[in-house]
């Protein structure tokens, strides 16, 4: 009962409050209308038409219409939804901030790891370059060592070949006693015997001998010797030729030799001159298959060089080594 009384009393007070507010509002509207009416009755001083009055009509009462109540309810729901949306947006922003911070940390960590990998890659590349340089240096050193070893082997091989190769020595060059030196206007000719000996340590094969007669002063004897040796070397490529074992003499062979027609004419033009026997012995080594030679020059010694045609016995003709040695290979 008390609650009903209080409720009825609250309603009466609310109605009185609303009626008071309505009376005040109506009083203000009436005052405004009187002011407007008075203003309209006054004529303007500039002679223009007086302002026309306008009317204000109060539409509706103190209670809200259904549309207004729906609009107000919709506005309240919209406000509630906006607040919820704000909260959701705020929480989404916080989540995005947290995710951004997490991603930033991950990116920083990945950047750090990438830098470490790049540094390791650079170190690996630098290490590989250094290894490559060291390898090339080692390879160069190895090549030098291999070349030195090969040179040493070649030197030992050459030394061994020199120690065991054959050596042909010119033991004697002479005009046999039963031969003679013939000197006349048409020809100057004689026969010489060449005796050779193998003083080496292995057999000499394909032994070939070349001999010629020349006048002194007609050219370089050494060049002539080397020319004869070249011809003798060619002869060693033939299937003929003697084989002389170590510490053995070769078979003495007699070779007829003569001056060329030009040298004969020169001899008689200058009324005499000295003769030289130029020759070479070429041979091969069965060990190295290389070709060697021994060249020589002997001067013919006469008591008197004939100024007229003569036939000088071999016993009166002697030969002397003009070089004091031999040209060898």
pLDDT tens digits, one per residue of 103-141: 888 888 888 888 888 777 777 777 777 877 888 888 888
Q: Give mean pLDDT, residues 316-329.
A: 80
Non-local (6+) Cβ contacts of 327 within 8 A are 222, 225, 226, 229, 280, 294, 295, 296
Determine the Cα–Cα distance for residues 217 and 127; give it in Å rounded to an integer.
Answer: 75
Highest mean pLDDT among 150-159, 217-226, 274-283: 274-283
pLDDT-wise least confident of 11-20, 95-104, 227-236: 11-20
In the predicted structure, residue 289 carries a pLDDT above the cut 80:
yes
Asked if pLDDT for residue 257 goes beyond 80, the answer is yes
Q: Give percent above pLDDT 70 in the chain.
A: 76
- pTM here is 0.52
Q: What is the mean pLDDT of residues 150-156?
A: 84
pLDDT of residue 31: 67
pLDDT of amino acid 48: 56
Mean pLDDT of 174-181: 88
- 292: enclosing H helix or E strand: strand 291-301
pLDDT reading at 249 higher than 60: yes
C-alpha angle 258-259-264 in degrees, rounded to nearest 5: 135
| Count of C-beta atoms within a 10 Å radius of residue 161 | 14
Q: Which of 218, 213, 223, 300 lies closest to 266, judged by CA?
A: 218
Per-residue confidence at 38, pLDDT binned at 50, 70, 90?
A: low
The reported pLDDT for the residue numbered 23 is: 59
Higher pLDDT, 76 or 24: 76
Instruction: Assess contact for 20 and 12: CB atoms under 8 A.
Output: no
Mean pLDDT in residue range 84-99: 82
d(C-alpha 167, C-alpha 198), whole Å: 5
Sign of the four-CA dihedral 16, 21, 24, 26: negative
pLDDT at position 147 is: 87
More confident residue, 112 or 58: 112
Is the CB of residue 318 less than 8 Å from the CB of residue 265? Answer: no
Instruction: Please indicate whether residue 263 or residue 14 has the higher confidence score (pLDDT).
Output: 263
pLDDT digits (tens, 9 = 90+) for 231-240: 888 877 877 7
Q: Find the mean pLDDT for residues 72-84.
A: 80
Confidence of residue 6 (pLDDT cuts 50, 70, 90): very low
User: Residue 17 above 70 pLDDT?
Assistant: no
Q: How confident is the model at residue 197 (pLDDT cuts 50, 70, 90)?
A: very high
Q: Does residue 266 register a pLDDT over 50?
A: yes
In the chain, the percentage of residues whose pLDDT exceeds 90 is 3
User: In the predicted model, is pLDDT for residue 9 greater than 60?
Assistant: no
Beta strands (DSSP E) in 252-290 are 253-258, 275-284
pLDDT-based confidence at residue 1 (cuts at 50, 70, 90): very low
Q: Tokens 């060089």 belong to which residue?
A: 305
């Amino acid at each position: 009962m008390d609650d009903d009384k209080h409720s009825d009393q609250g309603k009466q007070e609310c109605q009185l409050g609303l009626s008071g507010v309505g009376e005040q509002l109506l009083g203000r509207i009436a005052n405004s209308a009187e002011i407007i009416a008075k203003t309209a009755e006054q004529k303007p001083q500039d002679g223009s038409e007086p302002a026309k009055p306008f009317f204000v009509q109060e539409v509706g009462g103190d209670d809200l219409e259904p549309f207004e109540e729906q609009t107000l309810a919709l506005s309240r729901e919209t406000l509630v939804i906006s607040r919820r949306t704000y909260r959701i947006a705020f929480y989404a922003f916080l989540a995005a901030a947290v995710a951004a911070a997490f991603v930033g940390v991950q990116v920083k960590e990945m950047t750090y790891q990438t830098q470490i990998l790049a540094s390791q890659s650079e170190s690996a590349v630098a290490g590989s370059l250094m290894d490559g340089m060291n390898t090339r240096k080692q390879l160069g050193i190895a090549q030098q060592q291999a070349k030195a070893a090969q040179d040493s082997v070649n030197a030992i091989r050459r030394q061994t070949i020199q120690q065991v190769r054959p050596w042909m020595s010119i033991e004697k060059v002479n005009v046999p006693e039963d031969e003679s030196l013939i000197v006349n206007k048409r020809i100057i000719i004689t026969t010489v015997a060449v005796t050779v000996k193998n003083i080496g340590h292995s057999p000499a094969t394909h032994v070939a001998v070349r001999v010629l007669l020349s006048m002194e002063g007609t050219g370089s004897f050494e060049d002539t010797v080397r020319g004869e040796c070249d011809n003798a070397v060619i002869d060693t490529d033939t299937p003929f030729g003697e084989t002389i074992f170590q510490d053995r003499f070769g078979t003495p062979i007699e070779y007829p030799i003569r001056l060329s027609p030009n040298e004969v004419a020169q001899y008689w033009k200058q009324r005499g001159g000295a003769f030289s026997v130029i020759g070479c012995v070429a041979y091969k080594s069965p060990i190295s298959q290389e070709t060697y030679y021994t060249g020589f020059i002997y001067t013919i010694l006469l008591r008197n060089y004939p100024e007229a045609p003569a036939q000088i016995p071999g016993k009166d003709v002697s030969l002397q080594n003009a070089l004091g040695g031999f040209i060898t290979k």
